Amino acid sequence: MARAKIALIGAGMIGGTLAHIAAREELGDVVLFDIFEGTAKGKALDLSEAAPVFGKDSKLVGTSSYADIAGADVCIITAGFPRKPGMDRSELIGKNLGVIKQVAEGIKEHAPKAFVICITNPLDAMVWALQKFSGLQPRKVVGMAGVLDSARFRYFLADEFQCSVEDVHASVLGGHGDTMVPLTRYSTVNGVPLPDLIKMKWTTQDRVDAIVERTRKGGGEIVGLLGNGSAFYAPAESAIEMAKSYLRDKKRILPCAVRLSGQIAGVRGLYVGAPAMIGARGVEKVMNIRLKADEREMFMKSVAAVEKIIADCQEMEPSLK
Ligand code: A3D
């Protein structure tokens, strides 16, 4: 059987890391696309030269021509610009909306059957715009944020309990931003929910509140430390997890930015983070979690933040109205 074709649109920090993981895991052949052709070609050649060392046969090419992504099974989008210290994700719209429009047109023309995973920020609005500009089916266009946000939450919890990250599961809903909604009652260690762990005196409510806050601001913490650019290892690992579930029809239930049609709090037509089943048909199901009053309030605040960014996008690009 032919190897899968994975197109990485944007060959920067996340794009290069995605190419490295995809090649090491032999997930498929990789096309690295960037407006800077040298960056794409240089990273593809460097990784091709590493392949004999790690002993994998994925083919990697670099390009700045959309024709080379023809027939891609998966497209992962990181094209655009990352945050600088002190910047909010929403401040990236001005630069990234135009980039997403070009990318959507390239995918629509050359890889209309691909499963598309957007990472470019501000995430929920960019994936919404990508779907609108491309006209691809909403179940084939998703955003990566929840896997990363819940991984951060899991890491902080594992560190608190001094236990393996493998035994910690965490659930995060809503938009990718400081209003995201980490769901403590659905976050567990070995199946035991956080509120029970507090009763068992494994931790305290105050410490959990601090971890929730650190999770919400997790992206900014890394931006502040790096001083130039944003997180890339964990975002790349997270998007690969989603791509794998699609390519191998694993039907993982992963928190992703998906276009809701009423499954959570009756929200429709917007992309926001929710637990979704990813299989060979793309988004196959969205879990219709019933929220408690306080969770619903936080979720709707997050939805309002996404709506505000979308309104700004529509202002800038009237074709999105
Ligand atoms: P960076 O290393 O700057 O790479 C972006 C690449 O996009 C660069 O190589 C650019 O040359 C390229 N590019 C710019 N314009 C175009 C275009 N029109 N067509 C094709 N390529 C283009 O950034 P990065 O890889 O660190 O981050 C990429 C994006 O992901 C940024 O918007 C980040 O804010 C975002 N990000 C999202 C998350 C989420 O969890 C959602 C996490 C981390 C970063």
Which ipTM value was assigned to this complex? 0.99
What pLDDT is stored for residue 88 in this prediction?
85
- Cα–ligand 1 centroid distance for 155 (angstroms): 24
Residue 41: CB atoms within 10 A of its CB come to: 18
Tens digits of residue pLDDT in 202-240: 999 999 999 999 999 999 999 999 999 999 999 999 999
74 CB within 6 A, ligand 1? no
What pLDDT is stored for residue 29 in this prediction?
98
Query: Is the separation of the CB atoms in 5 and 40 below 8 Å?
Result: no
Nearest-CA residue for ligand 1 atom 27 is: 82
Q: Strand 268-279 relative to strand 252-261: parallel, antiparallel, unpaired?
A: antiparallel
Query: Is the separation of the CB atoms in 1 and 219 below 8 Å?
Result: no
d(CA 254, CA 262): 18
d(CA 97, CA 237): 24
Residue 163: CB atoms within 10 A of its CB come to: 14
- Cα–ligand 1 centroid distance for 10 (angstroms): 6
Residue 168, beta-bridge partner list: 189
User: Angle at the Cα of 15 (from 14 to 18), degrees rounded to 5?
Assistant: 85
Q: How many CA atoms lie within 13 A of 149 on its CB side?
A: 33
231 CB within 6 A, ligand 1? yes
Residue 270 three-state SS? strand
CB burial of residue 174 (10 Å; 0-12, 13-18, 19+): buried
99 CB within 6 A, ligand 1? yes
- Cα–ligand 1 centroid distance for 206 (angstroms): 35
Marked catalytic residue, from 20, 110, 169, 176: 176
Nearest-CA residue for ligand 1 atom 30 is: 120
What pLDDT is stored for residue 190 in this prediction?
97
pTM of this prediction? Answer: 0.98
CB burial of residue 225 (10 Å; 0-12, 13-18, 19+): exposed
The number of the ligand 1 atom at minimal distance from the alpha carbon of 89 is: 34
- Ligand 1, pocket-test mutation among 34, 36, 127, 232, most atoms within 8 A of CB: 34
What pLDDT is stored for residue 289 in this prediction?
94
83 CB within 6 A, ligand 1? yes
- 176 counts as catalytic: yes
d(CA 104, CA 91): 21
Closest CA to 10 of 93, 113, 89, 116: 116
CB burial of residue 204 (10 Å; 0-12, 13-18, 19+): exposed
Residues of the chain with pLDDT under 70: none
142 CB within 6 A, ligand 1? no
Query: Is the separation of the CB atoms in 160 and 189 below 8 Å?
Result: no
What pLDDT is stored for residue 90 in this prediction?
85
d(CA 243, CA 73): 10
- Cα–ligand 1 centroid distance for 109 (angstroms): 21
